[in-house]
Structure 1
Amino acid sequence: MMGDVPFLEIFVDAPPATVEARDVKGLYAKARRGELVNFTGIDSPYEAPEGAEIHVQTEKNTAEEAAGVILDVFLNASGRPSGARSR
Structure 2
Amino acid sequence: DNMRLGINKNLGFSADDRKENIRRIGEISKLFADAGVLTLSSFISPYRGDRDLAREVHDNDDMAFLEVYVECALDEAEKRDPKGLYKKARAGEIKNFTGIDDPYEEPLNPEIHLHSDTMSLEEEVEMIIQALEQRGLLSGA
Smaller-chain TM-score range? Answer: 0.7 to 0.9
Q: 1:75 to 1:30 in 2, by over 3 A?
A: same
TM-score (norm 1): 0.81
Counterparts of 1:60-75 in structure 2, within 5 Å, are 60-75=118-133
From 110, 117, 124, the equivalent of 1:59 is 117
Q: Which has the higher helix share?
A: 2
Large movers: runs of 4+ above 6 Å: none
1:42: Cα distance to partner? 0.5
TM-score (norm 2): 0.53
What is the percent sequence identity of the aligned residues? 39
From 77, 81, 88, the equivalent of 1:19 is 77
Secondary structure of 2:94's counterpart equals coil
Q: Distance in 2 between matches of 1:51 and 1:77?
A: 16
Q: How many residues align?
A: 83
RMSD: 1.9
Amino acid of the structure 2 residue aligned with 1:35: E
Q: 1:80 to 1:41 in 2, by over 3 A?
A: closer
Give the number of the structure with larger relative contact order, counting CA–CA contacts within 8 Å between residues 6 or more apart: 1
1:29-60: CA deviations, max 9, x gaps? 11011110011110111211112100011233
From 65, 80, 91, the equivalent of 1:33 is 91
What 5-or-longer segments of structure 1 have no aligned partner? none
